[in-house]
Structure 1
Amino acid sequence: MNNLERGWMYERLDGRGAINSSFITGVDKFIQFACTQQDHLSGDKVRCPCKKCHNFRFMHVEIVKHHLYKTGFVDNYFVWKHQGEKDVINEISSGQDLHGSDQPELTYDNPYRQMVLDVSCPNFSQGSSWQSSSNIEPQPTHPCEPLMEEDPNPDSQKLYDLLQAATQKLYPDSSLSQLVLVSQMLNIKMENNMSQRGYNQMMQLLKEALPEDNMGDDEHLTCCTFCGHERYKRRVGSRKRKLVPYKKMYYFPLIPRLQRLYASPATATDMRWHHEHTKEDGVMHHPSDSEAWKHFNETHYFFAVEPRNVRLGLCTNGFQPFSQSGSKYSSWPVIFTPYNLPPGMCMKEAYMFLTVIVPGPTNPKHKIDVYLQPLIKELNLLWEIGVEAFDISKKQNFQLRAALMWTISDFPAYSMLSR
């Protein structure tokens, strides 16, 4: 589709502030087209491409019209991919650029692809490969900084390769990608009540194609390195060989998600907002306007000189995930927020990174530092050395550092964190 033919999409208002008749007519054609694509509907609802929903939500037709009349279409959405329209030329060219072959990628006809995009970052679909953002003119962080474009570093390239692999066909003429295959296998296991043993035997056939597990240096330890307590319960008289731990926790690494913020064209520029926005004397619009932030920059100049370094806030508290009528159960999540982002983004759910979950049933109390060890290890690495990241907005690799600026909690949780 020629972009000129859909110029009406971004000519919503006329000179008097009223909605153009061409825009209303175009919206009607869009709705008519979207309703004919049965594979991309959710009942009688269609994906809303307005600037607020970003094609993530299914809405009734009238609500979609209202959103488009109010806010307009998301930027550069000339091809209605989420509604079922194909852009064959771009699909083939992107596949050739990345893989050196003529094999086209799976398009949005594959709904599983959105699963990866949702996990990666909001609006990552606007640039699922770093080459797809080549039309964005990179801007230097400092006026006098020489601009040199680079290829992504190996760690960042893994993310782009993962996104491409999620849409790449298993073999020529295949209708399935690797993600579709694995998802459907799990669905078959669930629907047919397949035993774990049978499923494991089936998965054994694909073991050669799966990456090796990476459980870290403490995988084979039988005692806690902090207090010396045994890791597993002793099961006297039991014939089962399965080891049962005293306590479990769930940890989701922070570093890959910080790198992803710069790997996505939807957030890379916004991560420098704290440094580039216009400051007004005597008015605090953002924590970067506060005296504490300025004092930190003066004290740690080596950190502040790179605007892309990340300032983090940590929040934790216990909550009861079950009904109040049941037995007591206290679960403790640890959430990080990057405060580089503008106020309208850093408080959104998409940018609150769940990093640690300490399940119940009891409160970890003063032992919470045991569960925070992998997190503290990551934070020390980010502060002392940093990790290599790729800034897609400037096409450059840089050393990404991060600092924990503050914690947010009530007084009982504060007493636990301050020990």
Structure 2
Amino acid sequence: MDKEWMSKNRLSPEYDIGVESFLKFALKNVDDPDAIPCPCAKCGNIKKKNVQTIRAHLYSNGIDLTYHTWIWHGERCTSRNSMNDNVRASQGVHKTFAEEPVDIVQDVYDSYVENPNQFTKLLEDAEKPLYPGCTKFTKLSAIVKLFNLKAKYSWSDKSFTDMLLLFGEMLPDKNELPLSLYDENKSLRALGMDYEYEDFANCPPCGTSRWKVGNNSKVKADAPCWKLVDHKWPDFASEPRNLRLAISADGVNPHSLMSSAYSCWPVLMITYNLPPWLCMKRKFVMLTLLISGPRQPGNDIDVYLAPLIDDLKCLWDTGVESYDAYQEESFSLKAVLLWTINDFPAYGNMSGCVVKGYHACPICAENTYSTRLKHSRKMSYTGHRRFLPLNHPYRRQKKTFNGNQEFNPAPNPLSGHEVLERVEKISYQPGKLTKKPQSNPDDGKPCWKKNQYSLNLSIGNICMFVMFLM
């Protein structure tokens, strides 16, 4: 059928002939002539109207230009590709952009073929008012909008269910809003939104186990430090049950008062052997330490971390005899600390590196471009153009920046051996009242504040020394 009229001017004779041919086609293929899905740009086949109203809408609103295959008016889908055209056009995607887009229309059509009763209920929900007298929302539109907000702001399932219960009490009696996430999922299954492979142990396309993350996890296993462990210690990498850990520490105020002098530092451990969607869940995060007191631990956090560091070294060097209940066997469990997760001030306390003043950049160290502003008495850090490519046009600009061109190369990060050489001669004694000597008498602004070897290594540098020195 010729559909070029859809893109013609609505005042043209071609558009008039096309509208009448469409209405004749629709009347031949629908059961109720007073309940035909309206394909105008505003209704989008969701609302059903009579022939006269649809004709008026097509002239006032225009036809939906993405509606290439008239599946809601009796036209058969000749191929999956023709269904894809509707979806691609509605998403602004051309065929050359994505070869396999998500076939929403085809999924809906398949759902209709497999379960017509369920699909009929979906159409009823699309016309049913949210509550008696409501003109802005139908049951289906309210569910879809709420689901959109849930995905946009990452609401938990429990909070979403609680919100539905609260909305149900706020709305008038005899409202159609589902009162749980489970009920909402049941309403949307006809759209093909249920999970297709929920009972499969292996991925159907590639056959990979859905539960084994380890070296097959493309999300985390591609990280350079993960690959470095596999390359330098193949014995460790050959055992998929060996743990890959991360430590996160930061100060929080449990009383929610900015003026409170109380300090609380939780030290959390994350296991990256779990799937990405589970490793950061609350029930899988281990609280290893809780450092509390009237003062922040500061640079003396190593004193509190010493027992944890001993356990980590034991897990790396010798391992711990463990029992695998699934395979019913014992094995030696080892672990490696891949990295730490901190904000910048906590990073300075954990690693012993200066993070303020003239040498505040851990990468640039003594070569940090820093200037103290005379009137504001604050530090200003420039020289960022060094990290741009050598042929970048910003390097030659003067007026836009500090009046000078920048041709210096970016500094190289310190290796583990270089860090060790800098800190091994520092004499450090923990304690708030202990006078801290300078690491270098010739330099009044040292880049490192403490020697972690005096405290059996800090968490901040145990990763660095394990990865580069062993």
TM-score bracket for this pair, using the shorter chain length? 0.3 to 0.5
Larger Rg: 2
Q: Give the TM-score normalised by structure 1.
A: 0.38
TM-score by length of 2: 0.34
Q: Which has the higher contact order (CA 8 A, sep 6+)?
A: 1
